[in-house]
Amino acid sequence: MSTERAHRLVAWVHERREELVEYLRQLALVESPSTDHAAQAAVQRLLREGLESAGLRVRHVRGRGSAGHLFARTREGAGGRPFQLLLGHTDTVWPLGTVDEMPVEVTGEVIRGPGVYDMKGGLAQLVFALRALRDLRLTPPAEPAVLVNSDEETGSRDSTRYVRMLARRAARVFVLEPAAGPTGKLKTARKGGGRFEIEVLGKSAHAGLEPQAGASAILELSHVIQKLHALNDPERGITVNVGVIEGGYRPNVVAARAHATVDVRVPSAKDAARVEYAISTIRPITPGTRLQVTGGIGRPPMTRTPGNRALWEAVRAAGRELGLDLEDTAVGGMSDGNTASRYAATIDGMGPIGDGAHAAHEFVSVEGFVERTALLANVLLLPL
């Protein structure tokens, strides 16, 4: 990499600091909860305009059970050249009206508001990094291709097939999820995980007159929960959390039904197979009850494969060109990087520095935001 070229990128981004911050503010003001498909249209339109201003041709991919996704490539087309994939999402966990309680504010060196950190900051970086390459007439060795989905926060059920299809052909993948921690560590490993639904079916009876005639689904679910809890192994990084339970009808009726929703996180494919098998083979011990277990591990772990490690070392070198001493880490959360990493060298957490993903104090550091925009542009120039 060229130090002089890196300095030009830094200067370009710093000159447009206020414009970059304002673009993020506009993205955040347009609320886009995953579950409100109509609300996605405005933020997709704003992002489309930004990508087109960077010289990309953008098309909307119709969704099946989602608001659809944006796919963009340069106007010149691939021309037989390899491409590098940039992944992001427009959806947030925040419902419409959140900005009334969590206003989007720029105060000194901090940008606050719902979605600024996860992950509209990364989307703004994406647009301005690509604009920097265009304005400075810097041609990456692999054409940038962009996929921004609208269902990442709900598991990317509709868009995963596109992530998989593109990652299989990509030379490498950069995910614009936010960086980790106050120093902005990049994410080179993520736990895999999934969701299980456990339905317990019993038999109702009058709890006072003939309780022995019934079979309590709630009693059986209590046994199942203990078995699930026993699968936790903090030292290995395995977590099994029964996050939602429901059941029964009235206090004086033996419950004929109970239900639990379970979240599972695992660090390796071997652990995923073991835990998935353990949950799927749980058997009832309360006479007269039966279990129905559905779901599974939907996202594989993102592990430090040789390809991922080589790409990380290259990214760290690109950071040094900008005067940055980058660090990496493993995190428990999942993203589309879990899927992409199965097929191509992937670095996640290329988004802004800040804190508060899914939390009321969500914010982005302006200086870190500017810094990481220049970093993204610089890593897109890394040789293959």
- Answer whether residue 2 shows pLDDT above 80: no
Of 253, 278, 298, the residue at which a domain comes to its end is: 298
Examine residue 163 and state whether it is found in any structural domain, yes or no. Answer: yes
Residues 21 and 150 in one domain: yes
pLDDT band, residue 76 (cuts 50/70/90): low
Examine residue 231 and state whether it is found in any structural domain, yes or no. Answer: yes
Q: How many CB atoms lie within 10 A of CB 320?
A: 13
* pLDDT recorded at residue 81: 81
pLDDT band, residue 179 (cuts 50/70/90): very high
Of 298, 316, 349, the residue at which a domain comes to its end is: 298
CATH of the domain at 205: 3.30.70.360
Which residue, among 190, 187, 169, 170, has the nearest Cα to 178 in the 3D structure?
Answer: 187
- Answer whether residue 133 shows pLDDT above 70: yes
CA pair distance 306, 190, nearest whole angstrom: 15
* pLDDT recorded at residue 105: 97
Examine residue 155 and state whether it is found in any structural domain, yes or no. Answer: yes
Residue type present at position 71 = F
Contact 248, 218 (CB under 8 A): yes
Residues 68 and 134 in one domain: yes
Which residue, among 22, 55, 23, has the nearest Cα to 136 in the 3D structure?
Answer: 55
Q: Taking residues 329-347, what's their average pLDDT?
A: 96
Helix axes 366-379, 17-29, angle to 10 degrees: 100
CA pair distance 123, 152, nearest whole angstrom: 14
Residues 19 and 128 in one domain: yes
CA pair distance 160, 327, nearest whole angstrom: 28
Of 236, 268, 298, the residue at which a domain comes to its end is: 298
**Most distant CA atoms of the chain, gap in Å:** 85
pLDDT band, residue 77 (cuts 50/70/90): low
Examine residue 226 and state whether it is found in any structural domain, yes or no. Answer: yes
Examine residue 32 and state whether it is found in any structural domain, yes or no. Answer: yes
Which residue, among 53, 46, 24, has the nearest Cα to 122 in the 3D structure?
Answer: 24
Residues 225 and 292 in one domain: yes
Contact 315, 372 (CB under 8 A): no
* pLDDT recorded at residue 168: 97
- Answer whether residue 120 shows pLDDT above 60: yes
Residues 59 and 161 in one domain: yes
Residues 53 and 147 in one domain: yes
* pLDDT recorded at residue 330: 95
Examine residue 203 and state whether it is found in any structural domain, yes or no. Answer: yes
Which residue, among 43, 76, 78, 79, has the nearest Cα to 60 in the 3D structure?
Answer: 43
Q: Taking residues 306-333, what's their average pLDDT?
A: 97
Residue in the structure block whose two tokens are 């996605």? 40
Residues 18 and 143 in one domain: yes
Structural domains in the chain (count)? 2
Domain span at residue 124 reads 3-191+301-379
CA pair distance 315, 300, nearest whole angstrom: 24
Q: Taking residues 229-248, what's their average pLDDT?
A: 97
* pLDDT recorded at residue 10: 96
Examine residue 67 and state whether it is found in any structural domain, yes or no. Answer: yes
Residues 93 and 185 in one domain: yes
- Answer whether residue 78 shows pLDDT above 80: no
pLDDT band, residue 32 (cuts 50/70/90): very high
Residues 199 and 127 in one domain: no
Contact 354, 364 (CB under 8 A): yes
Mean pLDDT of the chain: 96
* pLDDT recorded at residue 3: 81
**Weakest-pLDDT range from 2-11, 81-90, 186-195, 341-350:** 2-11
Residues 307 and 160 in one domain: yes
Question: 33 in helix, strand or coil?
Answer: strand
Examine residue 384 and state whether it is found in any structural domain, yes or no. Answer: no
Q: How many CB atoms lie within 10 A of CB 2?
A: 12
* pLDDT recorded at residue 207: 96
- Answer whether residue 1 shows pLDDT above 70: no
- Answer whether residue 333 shows pLDDT above 60: yes
Residues 57 and 187 in one domain: yes
| pLDDT tens-digit readout, 258-308 | 999 999 999 999 999 999 999 999 999 999 999 999 999 989 999 999 999
- The answer to whether the bond into 119 is cis (omega within 30° of 0) is yes
pLDDT band, residue 79 (cuts 50/70/90): low
pLDDT band, residue 74 (cuts 50/70/90): confident
CATH of the domain at 84: 3.40.630.10
Strand ranges (E), 154-238 = 172-175, 186-190, 192-201
Residues 261 and 339 in one domain: no
